[in-house]
Chain A
Amino acid sequence: MKAPARRGRRHNLVGRLFVLLAAASALVACENAPICGDFPLTPQVRACMLDEIEERVDRYYPFEADKEDVDLEEFRERLRSLGDEESDSEFLAGLQRTVVTLRDGHTRLTVQAPLPQGSPLVATINLPDGIYITASTEENVLPGDQLIEIDGRGVDQVFGELLAVTHASTMEGRRRIAARRILVGPRNRTVTVIVARGITQHRVVLRRFSPISVIGPPLQRRFGDIGYISLSTFALLDDVETFDRHLNELLDTTGLILDLRGNGGGHLHNADLILGRLMGIEPERFAMLDETGQTRFRFGPSPRGSRYKAPIVVLCDHQTYSAANYFVQRAGLHGVATIMGERTGGGAAPTRAVTLAPGVHFNYAFRVIVDPEGEHTEEGVAPDISINLSPADLVAGRAARRGRVEGDEFVARAVQFLEGR
């Protein structure tokens, strides 16, 4: 007699395994589903979104005591006044403007644009007296030109509207991000600008065909005996390997520039791995505090591999944020590097995200990083040596070629500083 019981038992096991796998897959899928509902946003969905945001801010927002311009009661009142807007886009814009008042880049509402976004091949920056062009590959737009009008509207009006929905932890960070995005719009569409050059003004039509989010791997250069590595993000683990290879090639240099301008952060462990190549001894650990003020864990870099021993300059600006802000703080605190540039953008709180509706994500800060003194750098880190650009610098092309000695005032000053040492 054959053994059907044995064969049947094997089939039974396979069937049970399949059910387990299917259940596990369903569990994973549910974690990423919108928690409030779909478009169009019914009153119930809107109420759910408002409740979810208020609940998370009430429970986790860590900076009520630190930010004098942030009033949580006012925030709640503004939140409760929302929900009756005619269109979903008006409701979401109102929600974004309300969340922005928390002045925390890690607590933000992002709404996916209906069309892919693009930008002209023109870089912009805010200076005290306006929005200026820093670099351009467009024939009729030159570095140093001042933006006067965008699509028939004054640049101050456009900037103000964009600023109202721009999240960042510092006011300067908000202005810088808004200025850099001022020409962004639907890709492959045109934008008509009026720019001023000296006493003359002229109209230019630009096409937005460049994708706006291109974050490249670490870049390495040499300026004589001075090495240069730019780090545009700490989000990706293989960038650490790329950095290691670049640093190995620059170990013989007499100085190193680490360019963290525009680095929006990423993972602390990537920042610590890179710091580990610059430090000879393990420094005191920072703490991660939860919403009750308890320490969840302590962390910090450990020396690894061949240490870079020559003087180091770290370049930073108002968009050096989150894990990059932490890197700058560590580098300055432990005497690893001289910090040059602008005050960083802060961002001392790790963030979690929840999807409220398709394409609508609410990020919220849920912990705080503090140094051994119990202090956080949510408002940014001041540089040891400030570098501020003027319109005359832009006209002279001192911000036109990022990462080059000729064409980048920050790099030129860093090379000068290191050569002087």
Chain B
Amino acid sequence: MNSSSTFISMVLALVMALAVLAMTPRTGWAQETTPEWQELIPMVSVRAAATLTRYRARACGCFDRTLWYTEVGLGARWHRFLELEGEHRRGGINVSSSGHVMTSAWAVGLRSALTPPTQRWWGGFFGRAGVVRLTVPATRQRNFMGLYFGAGLGLPLFGERVFLEQEVPLGVGFAELSHITIGLRVGLRVVINP
């Protein structure tokens, strides 16, 4: 089994374990008032997602490849409009029928809700932006910096704990592997401490 399929298996196992965890009823915990210092603790979430994008190389000016990846990430939210997140991605660049190159990446960024608090369905709209470092082994430069952006909708599956996220991600890469990607991202986000 290669390391990428191992990573994908880990992602799926983590998602299933967290979903089971999130669905466990919170019985037996006494209600109490929250001390002030605990309000500084962010709301922590973990997530797993899969993304599929079309890749437009800048030098060619053409969509000639597909970039895909699975990710696991962590988020820390202090406010509805301020959440810090980080993620690790594993995937590849596919060149139609001719072959593929495996990739990995680390990303750090910010997330924000796009609407005021509401119980209506549109309360789940969110936006993300951040910096990504893409590693492509079969290149001279090997590591390439870039930016990511995304707008999506998170739908609650189980109360305030588990959300299904769908997002349109946009990626921008620089330097010798200069490119733009656009596609679709689908994932699960589990709030550890709602």
From A238, A285, A302, give the contact of B64 (CB < 8 A): A302
A197 to chain B, nearest CB (A): 40
Q: Is the CB of B176 within 8 A of A241?
A: yes
Complex formed: what's the CA distance from A303 to B127 in Å? 36
Asked whether any CB of chain B lies closer than 8 Å to the CB of A236, the reply is yes
Q: Which among A236, A248, A297 has the greatest number of chain B C-beta atoms within 10 A?
A: A236
Asked whether any CB of chain A lies closer than 8 Å to the CB of B7, the reply is yes
A27 to chain B, nearest CB (A): 6
Q: Is the CB of B98 within 8 A of A245?
A: no
Residue of A nearest to B2 (CB): A31
Map CB proximity to B onto A1-42 as digits: 1 under 8 Å, 0 otherwise. 101011001100100110011001001100100000000000
Mark the stretch among B55-63, B108-116, B147-155, B158-166 that contacts chain A. Answer: B55-63
From A238, A248, A271, A285, give the contact of B97 (CB < 8 A): A285
Asked whether any CB of chain B lies closer than 8 Å to the CB of A103, the reply is no
* A304-B64 CB under 8 A given contacts A24-B7, A28-B6, A31-B2: yes
Complex formed: what's the CA distance from A28 to B17 in Å? 23
Asked whether any CB of chain B lies closer than 8 Å to the CB of A50, the reply is no
Residue of B nearest to A246 (CB): B59
Q: Is the CB of B64 within 8 A of A13?
A: no
Complex formed: what's the CA distance from A72 to B100 in Å? 33
Asked whether any CB of chain A lies closer than 8 Å to the CB of B140, the reply is yes
Q: Is the CB of A24 within 8 A of B6?
A: yes
Q: Is the CB of B140 within 8 A of A239?
A: yes
Asked whether any CB of chain B lies closer than 8 Å to the CB of A280, the reply is no
Asked whether any CB of chain A lies closer than 8 Å to the CB of B139, the reply is yes
Map CB proximity to A onto B27-60 as digits: 1 under 8 Å, 0 otherwise. 0111010000000000000000000000001111
From B64, B96, B139, give the contact of A236 (CB < 8 A): B139
Q: Is the CB of A13 within 8 A of B59?
A: no
- The interface residues of chain B lying within 8 Å CB-to-CB of A332 are none
Asked whether any CB of chain A lies closer than 8 Å to the CB of B177, the reply is yes
Q: Is the CB of B10 within 8 A of A20?
A: yes
Q: Is the CB of A299 within 8 A of B98?
A: yes
Which residues, 55 to 107 on B, are CB-close (under 8 Å) to A? 57-62, 64, 93, 95-101
Q: Is the CB of A17 within 8 A of B59?
A: no
Q: Is the CB of B138 within 8 A of A272?
A: no
B96 to chain A, nearest CB (A): 6
Q: Is the CB of A238 within 8 A of B177?
A: yes
Complex formed: what's the CA distance from A24 to B101 in Å? 20
Complex formed: what's the CA distance from A3 to B64 in Å? 53
Q: Is the CB of B29 within 8 A of A267?
A: no
- The interface residues of chain B lying within 8 Å CB-to-CB of A297 are 97
Asked whether any CB of chain B lies closer than 8 Å to the CB of A242, the reply is yes
- The interface residues of chain A lying within 8 Å CB-to-CB of B141 are 238
From A3, A6, A245, A285, give the contact of B59 (CB < 8 A): A245
Complex formed: what's the CA distance from A285 to B61 in Å? 24
- The interface residues of chain B lying within 8 Å CB-to-CB of A9 are 21
The count of residues in chain A whose C-beta lies closer than 8 Å to any C-beta of chain B is 45
Asked whether any CB of chain A lies closer than 8 Å to the CB of B3, the reply is yes
Interface range on chain B (Cβ under 8 Å from partner): 35 or more
- The interface residues of chain A lying within 8 Å CB-to-CB of B30 are 1
Q: Is the CB of A269 within 8 A of B59?
A: no
A326 to chain B, nearest CB (A): 10
- The interface residues of chain B lying within 8 Å CB-to-CB of A20 are 10, 13-14
Q: Is the CB of A24 within 8 A of B13?
A: no
Q: Is the CB of A298 within 8 A of B97?
A: yes
Which residues, 261 to 319 on A, are CB-close (under 8 Å) to B? 267-269, 271-273, 276-277, 285, 297-302, 304-306
Asked whether any CB of chain B lies closer than 8 Å to the CB of A396, the reply is no
Residue of A nearest to B24 (CB): A9
* A305-B60 CB under 8 A given contacts A241-B178, A267-B138: yes
Asked whether any CB of chain A lies closer than 8 Å to the CB of B192, the reply is yes
Q: Is the CB of A241 within 8 A of B59?
A: yes
* A24-B10 CB under 8 A given contacts A6-B29, A267-B138: yes
- The interface residues of chain A lying within 8 Å CB-to-CB of B96 are 272, 299, 302
Complex formed: what's the CA distance from A420 to B193 in Å? 76
Asked whether any CB of chain B lies closer than 8 Å to the CB of A217, the reply is yes
Residue of A nearest to B137 (CB): A237
Asked whether any CB of chain A lies closer than 8 Å to the CB of B131, the reply is no
Residue of B nearest to A245 (CB): B59
Q: Is the CB of B97 within 8 A of A299?
A: yes
B85 to chain A, nearest CB (A): 17
Q: Is the CB of B61 within 8 A of A305?
A: yes
A75 to chain B, nearest CB (A): 31
Asked whether any CB of chain A lies closer than 8 Å to the CB of B129, the reply is no
Q: Is the CB of B177 within 8 A of A241?
A: yes
* A237-B60 CB under 8 A given contacts A13-B17, A28-B3: no
Q: Is the CB of A10 within 8 A of B192?
A: yes
* Cβ-closest 10 pairs across A and B: A244-B59, A269-B99, A305-B60, A269-B95, A269-B98, A238-B176, A272-B98, A299-B97, A28-B3, A238-B139
A-B contacts, 25 listed (Cβ < 8 Å): A5-B28, A6-B193, A13-B17, A20-B10, A20-B13, A217-B140, A236-B139, A236-B140, A237-B93, A237-B101, A238-B136, A241-B58, A242-B59, A245-B59, A268-B99, A271-B98, A272-B96, A272-B98, A272-B99, A276-B64, A297-B97, A299-B99, A301-B98, A305-B62, A306-B61
Please give the residue numbers on chain A whose beta carbons come within 8 Å of chain B beta carbons, in ascending order: 1, 3, 5-6, 9-10, 13, 16-17, 20-21, 24, 27-28, 31, 217, 235-242, 244-245, 248, 267-269, 271-273, 276-277, 285, 297-302, 304-306
Additional pairs, 14, CB under 8 Å, beyond known A241-B57, A267-B101, A269-B98? A24-B7, A28-B3, A235-B138, A238-B140, A240-B57, A244-B57, A244-B60, A272-B95, A272-B96, A273-B95, A297-B97, A299-B98, A299-B99, A305-B62
